[in-house]
């Protein structure tokens, strides 16, 4: 374990002033960088979802971030960096981690590695662990902002803890209005699903969280299978990767997964051209991807869940989604959302 995180008060109230929204142009990015440097909280688009940024070395700002999200402080954050060189100052990339970084960064792959001796990411952001999660995002706004700041930026999803991740600036404001300083509006995020997290601290990488880089793609590159931490292991993983709590991604409505028929009063989240029986009963129907494309489905997942949740239906019926490629991460998020209500 790294040094104690005990001195920072993470239950301090989040800021109670109006959140500003700025276009993600050069002026907006410059203002966002100044806000971060002054200890502020800035939501910004990445290719996956909107992140809530704070300077990773600034324990006070990180404490405000936990407070704004109402996030349990034992839940470590991902440090976002402008490139591999910057990542090497934060964590120790072993040969496998280096290969993965060179192949998939910038991109939706987070690597958990041993922290570097002078790791600038504060203990609070690492939840006191001697490891650190690092990623280089593939979004021009995120990269420009991190470069302008010149330091690692922690950026968990910009939603209140346990809720659905935001893929638009409007989603961010719905959850965090007047709790954060600034939102950089760069339009909808292109991928729409969080990064894949690999634990690279052992002999072989382990999948801590399925995400928008498909496990099959990583396995092909490594010419090896990756152990999936899940099932009976999930409790153990919850202490290693605490974001994997079952209560994540909660909707107000119940979720019923892999449905073959729609019951009266349910909303329907469909996938592909094939409809469950009695689809006409659905009080509202949205299709993740009419052609059955898993990438398109990932991009639409969180926004569609929000819309169906807002329909007022007590239950959202979810059509079967294949458990391959990005379907693995989509099913993971849906299972967590369903579990949150059981």
- Applying CB under 5 A, does 196 fall inside the site for Mg ion? no
Q: Quick check: 4 and 123 in contact, CB under 8 A?
A: yes
The site partner of 242 among Mg ion, ligand AMP, none (C-beta below 5 to 8 Å per kind) is: ligand AMP
Residue number, 126 or 331, with CB nearest to ligand AMP? 126
- Applying CB under 6 A, does 112 fall inside the site for ligand AMP? yes
Phi–psi pair at 130, nearest 5 degrees: -95, 15
Q: How far is CA 310 from CA 159, 288, 337, in A?
A: 16, 17, 15
Neighbouring-strand partners of residue 79: 134, 154
* Minimum CB distance to Mg ion, residue 49 (Å): 8
* C-alpha–C-alpha distance, residues 85 and 109, integer Å: 16
Q: Quick check: 80 and 152 in contact, CB under 8 A?
A: yes
Residue nearest to Mg ion (CB): 157
* Minimum CB distance to ligand AMP, residue 248 (Å): 8
Neighbouring-strand partners of residue 92: 114
Gyration radius of the chain over CA positions: 19
* Minimum CB distance to Mg ion, residue 249 (Å): 8
* Minimum CB distance to Mg ion, residue 165 (Å): 5
- Applying CB under 5 A, does 157 fall inside the site for Mg ion? yes
* Minimum CB distance to ligand AMP, residue 283 (Å): 31
CB atoms within 10 A of CB 53: 31
Stretch 207-266 residues interacting with ligand AMP (CB under 6 A): 208-209, 240-244
Q: Which residues bind ligand AMP (CB under 6 A)?
A: 75-78, 112, 126, 129, 131-133, 156-157, 194, 197, 208-209, 240-244
Q: Which residues bind Mg ion (CB under 5 A)?
A: 157
């Amino acid at each position: 374990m790294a040094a104690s995180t005990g001195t920072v008060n993470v239950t301090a109230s989040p800021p109670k002033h109006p959140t500003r929204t700025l276009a993600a142009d050069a002026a907006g990015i410059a203002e966002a960088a100044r806000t971060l440097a002054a200890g502020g909280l800035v939501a910004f688009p990445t290719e996956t979802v909107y992140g809530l940024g704070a300077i990773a070395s600034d324990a006070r700002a990180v404490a405000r971030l936990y407070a704004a999200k109402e996030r349990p402080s034992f839940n470590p954050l991902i440090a976002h960096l402008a490139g591999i060189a910057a990542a090497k100052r934060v964590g120790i990339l072993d040969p496998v981690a280096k290969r993965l970084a060179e192949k998939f960064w910038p991109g939706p792959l987070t690597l958990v590695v041993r922290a570097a001796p002078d790791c600038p990411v504060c203990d609070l952001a690492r939840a006191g662990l001697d490891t650190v999660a690092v990623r280089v995002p593939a979004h021009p706004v995120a990269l420009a902002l991190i470069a302008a700041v010149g330091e690692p930026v922690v950026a968990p999803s910009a939603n209140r803890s346990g809720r659905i991740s935001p893929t638009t600036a409007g989603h961010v404001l719905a959850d965090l209005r007047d709790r954060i300083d600034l939102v950089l509006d760069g339009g909808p995020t292109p991928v729409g699903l969080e990064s894949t997290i690999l634990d690279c601290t052992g002999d072989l990488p382990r999948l801590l969280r399925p995400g928008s880089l498909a496990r099959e793609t990583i396995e092909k590159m490594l010419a090896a299978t990756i152990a999936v931490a899940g099932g009976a292991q999930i409790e153990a993983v919850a202490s290693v990767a605490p974001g994997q709590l079952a209560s994540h991604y909660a909707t107000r409505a119940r979720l019923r997964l892999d449905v073959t028929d729609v019951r009266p009063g349910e909303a329907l989240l469909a996938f592909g051209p094939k409809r469950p029986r009695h689809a006409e009963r659905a009080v509202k129907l949205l299709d993740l991807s009419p052609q059955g494309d898993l990438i398109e489905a990932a991009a639409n997942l969180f926004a569609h869940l929000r819309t169906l949740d807002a329909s007022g239906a007590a239950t959202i019926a979810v059509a079967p989604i294949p458990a391959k490629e990005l379907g693995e991460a989509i099913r993971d998020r849906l299972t967590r959302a369903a579990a949150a209500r059981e």
